[in-house]
């Protein structure tokens, strides 16, 4: 997606060989027109897939996912990263390890909102080692629902998540793939 790649090239900050900060338009401040454009791109790719539900993870996945959900006319469910007071039981739970934050956390989705008849599209902001995607896929499996595909805004192509998911023959659609962040430079695939 040309507009996204340009924006990453202009405003992305390389913090290390494997950390890219895009807080000015995706992860903290959000550009709503870009989010809409991202939603339109995911819609183009996945529109024939008979999707019934979109799943994402709080918080940065919500904006691209809600724009896609609006186009596809399906509900969005976001997985929570910790259990809330009003959601203590009746939950699908999986564990996700974040290599960036060096922590393992629970992700939860209420059993009220994911069913065996659902055809689910996962949307997330980043794909690195694929741990978040695996956690969401685990929950889809617990619900006996079907995974239709995964839409990713930025894939770190130099980490293993993308290859691991494509090896499973999942329809993975990444709008920008970073080949390398070495020497403070962003190289795209």
Quote the least distance from Cβ 127 to a second copy, whole Å. Answer: 17
Shortest CB 9 distance to a second copy, Å: 18
The nearer residue to a second copy, 9 or 19, going by C-beta atoms, is 19
Residues of this chain that interact with a second copy (CB under 8 A) are 15, 19, 21, 23-25, 28-33, 35-36, 58-59, 62-63, 66-67, 69-70, 73-78, 80, 84-87, 100-101, 109-110, 112-113
**Complex with a second copy: residue 9 or 15, whichever CB lies closer:** 15
Q: How far is CA 38 from the centre of its chain?
A: 12
Give the span between the Cα atoms of 11 and 74, in whole angstroms: 32
- Of 98 and 164, CB closest to a second copy: 98
**Quick one: which of 169, 159, 164 has its CA closest to 177?**
159
178: which residues sit within 8 A by CB, 6+ positions away? Answer: 8, 20, 154, 155, 156, 157, 158, 186, 187, 188, 189
Q: What is the closest distance, in whole angstroms, from the C-beta atom of residue 30 to a second copy in the complex?
A: 5
Comparison of 32 and 184: residue with beta carbon closer to a second copy: 32
Smallest gap, in angstroms, from Cβ of residue 113 to a second copy? 4
């Amino acid at each position: 997606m040309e507009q996204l790649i340009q924006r990453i090239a202009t405003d992305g900050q390389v913090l290390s060989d494997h950390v890219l900060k895009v807080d000015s338009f995706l992860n903290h401040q959000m550009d709503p027109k870009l989010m809409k454009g991202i939603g339109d791109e995911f819609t183009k790719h996945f529109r024939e897939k008979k999707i019934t539900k979109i799943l994402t993870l709080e918080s940065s996945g919500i904006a691209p996912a809600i724009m896609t959900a609006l186009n596809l006319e399906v509900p969005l469910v976001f997985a929570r990263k910790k259990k809330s007071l009003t959601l203590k039981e009746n939950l699908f739970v999986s564990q996700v390890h974040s290599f960036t934050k060096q922590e393992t956390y629970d992700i939860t989705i209420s059993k009220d909102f994911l069913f065996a008849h659902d055809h689910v599209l996962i949307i997330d902001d980043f794909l690195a080692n694929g741990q978040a995607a695996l956690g969401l896929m685990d929950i889809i499996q617990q619900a006996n629902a079907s995974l239709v595909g995964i839409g990713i805004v930025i894939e770190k192509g130099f980490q293993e998540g993308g290859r691991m998911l494509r090896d499973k023959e999942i329809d993975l659609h990444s709008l920008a793939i970073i080949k390398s962040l070495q020497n403070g430079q962003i190289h795209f695939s």
